Amino acid sequence: METYQYDDFSININRRGANRFTKVSYPIRYGRFSEINTRDYIFQFNLNGEIKYIQDNKQRWQFPGEWLKRTVSDEWTYYSAAGYGGTYSFIGEYYLPCFSQPQNAISSTYIFDQSAADHALSSFEKFLEKLKTLSSDKMPREVKKFLKCVTDNDLDILKRKGSEFHSVINGRITVLPPDSRHVDYEVIPVIVADGCLYNCGFCSIKTGKDFVLRTRQEIIKQIKNLKKIYKDDICNYNSVFLGMHDALNAGRELIEFSAENAYQIFKIEHSNMKNPKLFLFGSVDSLLDASEDLFESINKMPFYTYINIGMESADPKTLALLKKPVSAKKVERSFDRMLDINKRYGNIEITANFVIGEGLSGAHFDSISNLTAGRLDHFFSKGCIYLSPLSCDRSTKDLQRKFVELKNISRLPTFVYLIQRL
Ligand code: SF4
């Protein structure tokens, strides 16, 4: 790492962050990045010179050590320490990522700090203007090159790149698998299928389209174009999300094809980050229909794979209320298959989602605890249960109380599903 001092700011080029994702209660950065430290803010950049993190240097934010992070689709997320109390117990992480739009009822008390974000971004814009006026005559070549990348990537250019990202994947990632929290949602999405099997009535993130596979040619083109979008920073990624809502239903051959090509074309073997991960969603039917071959193949891949299944409830009346066209019996069978696969395959972890909400019946909550407590005779650390609040207008306190009740009796790790998009 090289450090250069200018009037009232310093530049650190090619800083080395952690090479494994980890859960810590202080700000941590991963892979390689560069940083400009000013009196007001710390600006951190990815390997393309695109701003990625902003941290306050003057203790104006709610808690020290919080930060703003920009996603590849050019959205800002505020990482709130939320007072630290209880955050880990609720979401399994020390920091709560909050978007500018409230998406997560359970976290509605810890909202995105819009004024903090506005001030930080306008300061960044002003700082870019200042950088453009700096004389580069005596600058080392490395600094000149870095500052050119930084000033070339102003906020308008980044916005345009965000739109290009959506064009390349031909869609929007309205929700990431909850398990991608393990890599701080730092996944490269490769869409292998659109739509979903059920188009459940209660779901607000569905596309409303029927399930359709993408062709191999479309997938390869997407992977190659994504490589261009992530450019030099691709070597800071080690995780892939096979989208969208039911990639498990794409079958063994297309999953193998997509995962293997992503691994090779993104050069994940040489990533700055160790322990590659693959994430996908599945459904009750795709889990029950999946052949043993599929799991054997996934288990041999160079990734540790998380498959998240939307089960929602094992109570027939609640499933009818949610307009989810699966039977409670199928949900129970898919839960049993999840437990079985988690025990037998070392590189696969299947997790499940259930809904929580004020208006739901006691039978619904009993159906969850019958599975999460009744199907295991001791605690098992593999296979998280995610409880997903139904809407944003419920009482946060009631939801939290219900969550704690279910968590306390569950014999599987149990957390709130934090909806994150990309
Ligand atoms: S809950 Fe899952 S299966 Fe149901 S509509 Fe939403 S994305 Fe589709």
- The listed range with the strongest mean pLDDT (70-79, 142-151, 323-332) is 323-332
Long-range CB contacts for residues 121-130, cutoff 8 Å, separation at least 24: 121/54, 121/76, 121/155, 123/40, 123/41, 124/41, 124/43, 124/51, 124/54, 124/155, 125/154, 125/155, 127/9, 127/36, 127/38, 127/41, 127/43, 128/154
Pocket lining: 206 vs ligand 1, CB cutoff 6 Å: yes
The helix/strand/coil state of 348 is: strand
Pocket lining: 196 vs ligand 1, CB cutoff 6 Å: yes
Distance CA 106, CA 110 (A): 9
pLDDT at 116: 81
pLDDT score of 420 more than 90:
no
Beta strands per DSSP E along 111-261: 188-191, 193-194, 212-213, 239-243
pLDDT at 76: 92
Cis peptide before 244 (omega within 30 of 0): yes
Domain 170-416 CATH class label: alpha beta
| DSSP class per residue in 220-279 | HHHHHHHHHHHGGGGGG--EEEEESS-GGGGHHHHHHHHHHHHHHHTTGGG-SS-S-EEE
Upper half-sphere CA count for residue 8 (Cβ side, 13 Å): 6
* Centre of ligand 1 from the C-alpha of residue 248, in Å: 13
| Residue whose tokens read 């191999």 | 216
* Centre of ligand 1 from the C-alpha of residue 386, in Å: 15
Q: Contact, 415 vs 383, CB < 8 A?
A: no
pLDDT at 44: 98
pLDDT at 83: 63
pLDDT at 111: 60
Percent of the chain predicted with pLDDT > 70 = 95
In the structure, how many helices (H) and strands (E) does the chain have?
Answer: 12, 17
Question: What's the whole-number mean pLDDT along residues 240-263?
Answer: 97
Confidence category of residue 400, pLDDT binned at 50, 70, 90:
confident
pLDDT at 102: 59
pLDDT at 332: 98
The helix/strand/coil state of 318 is: helix
pLDDT at 360: 92
Q: Higher model confidence: residue 133 or residue 272? A: 272
Pocket lining: 283 vs ligand 1, CB cutoff 6 Å: yes
| 8-state DSSP, 214 | P
Question: What's the whole-number mean pLDDT along residues 236-257?
Answer: 97
* Centre of ligand 1 from the C-alpha of residue 129, in Å: 45
Q: Which of 204, 245, 321 to mutate to test the pocket of ligand 1 (most atoms within 8 A of CB)?
A: 245
Q: Whose CA is nearest to atom 5 of ligand 1?
A: 199
Q: Give 34's strand partners.
A: 45
Question: What's the whole-number mean pLDDT along residues 17-33?
Answer: 95
Pocket lining: 203 vs ligand 1, CB cutoff 6 Å: yes
Distance CA 389, CA 91 (A): 13
Q: Higher model confidence: residue 306 or residue 140? A: 306
Q: Could you report the per-residue pLDDT of 71-110, keeping only the tens digit for each? A: 999 999 999 887 666 788 889 998 888 876 655 555 555 5
Question: What's the whole-number mean pLDDT along residues 187-213?
Answer: 94
pLDDT score of 46 more than 70:
yes
Q: Contact, 227 vs 237, CB < 8 A?
A: no
Question: What's the whole-number mean pLDDT along residues 178-198?
Answer: 97
Query: Which of 1-5, 152-156, 317-321, 356-360 shows the lowest mean pLDDT across its residues?
Result: 1-5
Ligand 1 atom nearest the C-alpha of 175 is: 7
Q: Contact, 21 vs 273, CB < 8 A?
A: yes
Ligand 1 atom nearest the C-alpha of 324 is: 4
* Centre of ligand 1 from the C-alpha of residue 72, in Å: 24
User: pTM higher than 0.85 for the full model?
Assistant: yes
pLDDT at 105: 53
pLDDT at 346: 98
Q: Could you report the per-residue pLDDT of 377-396, keeping only the tens digit for each? A: 999 999 999 999 886 545 57
Q: Which of 203, 211, 313 to mutate to test the pocket of ligand 1 (most atoms within 8 A of CB)?
A: 203
Domain layout of the chain by residue ranges? 2-159, 170-416
| Residue whose tokens read 């031909």 | 170
Distance CA 90, CA 110 (A): 13
Ligand 1 atom nearest the C-alpha of 244 is: 7
* Centre of ligand 1 from the C-alpha of residue 40, in Å: 44
Pocket lining: 284 vs ligand 1, CB cutoff 6 Å: no
Beta strands per DSSP E along 71-117: 76-80, 96-99
pLDDT score of 398 more than 80:
no
pLDDT at 415: 95
